[in-house]
């Protein structure tokens, strides 16, 4: 699909600003992709092209990194990405029931995004907070010791963002 010229220019300006803040060396690629993705939790084709140009890195390499790490997505996602830990400690302490509660509350299945592009539900591996399993991360915020009963309260934290 063609991208309007005005939109492409604004993507270019934004990517150039982020690259100049982080440096154009390949070591900065992960941070640059993180910052570029921050506006809508996903990396569009136009953004990947501009990152490759601005950092003088082959597009195939940029795309490879963007698709290798689960923190990045080249598919549209919601403004809030709910990452549910599926590693063993969370699994045995009730992650499955927590997943069921999120799916029921949001009306979507794991891997899907709500129609209003507000929430995306994804699996993740260990978040490093096994002491409070089962745990999830919503954007940069961690929630632990979850039960299905606590899910409406967790989602209520995002009610004001309408």
Query: Which long-range contacts link 32-40 to residues 24+ away (Cβ below 8 Å)?
Result: 33/62, 33/65, 33/66, 33/72, 34/71, 34/72, 37/72, 37/73, 39/14, 40/76, 40/77, 40/79
Stretch touching ligand FES by CB under 6 A, among 28-36, 45-53, 87-95, 113-121: 87-95
Q: Is 87 in the site for ligand FES (CB under 6 A)?
A: yes
> With the C-alpha atoms ordered 56, 58, 42, 115, is the resulting torsion angle positive or negative?
positive
Q: Is 98 in the site for ligand FES (CB under 6 A)?
A: no
Q: Closer CB to ligand FES, residue 47 or residue 122?
A: 122
**Given the complex with ligand FES, which of 18 and 101 has the nearer CB atom?**
101
**Residue 43's closest CA among 4, 15, 16?**
15
β-strand partners of 85: 124
Q: Counting contacts by CB under 6 A, is residue 94 touching ligand FES?
A: no
Q: Is 51 in the site for ligand FES (CB under 6 A)?
A: no
Asked if 129 is part of the footprint of ligand FES (rule: CB under 6 A), the reply reads yes
**Exposure string (b/e) for 105-120, b if CB count within 10 Å is 16 or more?**
ebebeeeebeeeeebb
Q: Which residue has the tokens 């499955």?
A: 96
Residue nearer to ligand FES on the CB measure, 40 or 86: 86
Q: Are 24 and 38 in contact (CB under 8 A)?
A: no
Task: Candidates 12-20, 35-43, 60-68, 123-131: pick the segment binding ligand FES (CB under 6 A).
Answer: 123-131
Contact region with ligand FES (CB under 6 A), list: 65-73, 75-83, 106-114, 122-130: 122-130
Residue selected from 18, 33, 106, 127 as contacting ligand FES according to rule CB under 6 A: 127
Residues that bind ligand FES (CB under 6 A): 85, 87, 89-90, 126-127, 129-130, 133, 135
């Amino acid at each position: 699909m063609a991208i309007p010229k005005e939109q492409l220019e604004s993507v270019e300006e934004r990517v150039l600003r982020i690259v100049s803040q982080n440096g154009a060396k390949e070591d900065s690629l992960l941070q640059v992709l993180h910052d570029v993705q921050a506006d809508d939790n996903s990396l569009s084709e136009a953004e990947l092209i501009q990152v490759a140009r601005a950092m003088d890195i082959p597009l195939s390499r940029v795309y490879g990194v963007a698709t290798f790490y689960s923190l990045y997505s080249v598919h549209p996602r919601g403004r809030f990405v709910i990452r549910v830990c599926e590693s063993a400690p969370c699994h045995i302490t009730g992650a499955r029931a927590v997943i069921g509660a999120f799916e029921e509350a949001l009306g979507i299945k794991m891997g899907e995004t709500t129609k209003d592009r507000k929430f995306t539900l994804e699996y993740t591996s260990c978040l490093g907070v096994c002491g409070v399993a089962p745990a999830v991360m919503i954007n940069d915020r961690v929630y632990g010791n979850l039960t299905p009963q606590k899910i409406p309260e967790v989602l209520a934290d995002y009610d004001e963002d309408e």
